[in-house]
Homo-oligomer: A and B are copies of this chain.
């Protein structure tokens, strides 16, 4: 199995501590995130060989972003240096009726000002067999969209498996075109993609396999390359209490993981990314799609109880939850 390539923006996350609001905190904890970097970090911790491609400015804070990736074992040989700033966001963690809050300050980051042709994708994809991207990158700027397109074309030509996460963010897409205009072309390159969850409140009502099948078939009809549609089914009781289940549809069968009752959530940010990372690992390392979705849901369940964007979690920890006892005994 070849290397995995992930491409996207890396962000510095500045968060208030514990339950403090951004308006109250005296200091901000530093962490790093970004949907695609989260996937890369998770996969590297699972033991996969991963290279993360992004563009960063030359300063100490971007050096720290690199140091963070390297500490997890993510390869950074193809990172481009240039541009003016590291994108960042401020984060406060919510509780029950006070939702979590993200304030972005990412405009004009080095990824916004990346230029087509700057990345030699043929070089990047040498020895690689998988490419992962999300809808956040083309949302940043026209250039970021064009570089994503370059990457997808090269990946397709060179025969990599392509996974894409739609990851729609309303407050992005300011550069002139809408997601609706841009995404279909990009998604048409994907082998695996996140699906649009049936419009059902899963706390109130159980979603049947048939509904996922319908949604999946619609995707597959629209994007003929697509071989697997991925759903995460979240029921939101409150900011502190969710339910969680993963679903795969391969055009034939619907695979549902165990459903988890997430009663005292620690940090929800990055849980979708942790699911996607663990699914990629699962599809590459287990024999069945059922095991893959079980692993993805177990690993991303654990992420809900870990601070920060990244799922600081090993294969052994996720498998222990996936396979066994689910009542959180002390390990000593």
Contact = CB atoms under 8 A, between A and B. Distances in A.
Contacts of A263: 96, 238, 240-241
Contact of A105 (B20, B85, B262, B307): B85
A28 B30 contact: yes
A266 interface: yes
B29 A332 contact: no
A12 to B, nearest CB: 10
Going nearest first, the 4 A-B pairs with the smallest beta carbon separation are A239-B328, A102-B332, A71-B71, A26-B26
Contacts of A326: 97, 238
Interface string A106-125: 01100000000000000000
A101 interface: yes
A80 to B, nearest CB: 18
B312 A24 contact: yes
A68 B103 CA distance: 19
A211 to B, nearest CB: 21
Contacts of A240: 263-264, 328
Interface stretch (A46-54, A58-66, A212-220, A287-295): A58-66
A24 B18 CA distance: 15
Given A27-B29, A97-B304, 19 more contacts: A17-B27, A19-B306, A23-B64, A26-B30, A27-B30, A28-B28, A70-B71, A84-B107, A85-B107, A95-B266, A95-B305, A96-B265, A97-B305, A97-B328, A100-B328, A108-B108, A238-B264, A241-B264, A269-B330
A143 interface: no
A262 B96 contact: yes
Contacts of A27: 17, 27-30
| Copies of this chain assembled into the complex | 6
A197 to B, nearest CB: 14
Contacts of A20: 307
A61 B73 contact: no
Interface of A: 14, 17-30, 59-61, 63-64, 67-68, 70-73, 84-86, 89-90, 94-105, 107-108, 169, 171, 203, 236-241, 260, 262-269, 301-302, 304-308, 312, 317, 321, 326-332
A241 B240 CA distance: 12
B29 A98 contact: no
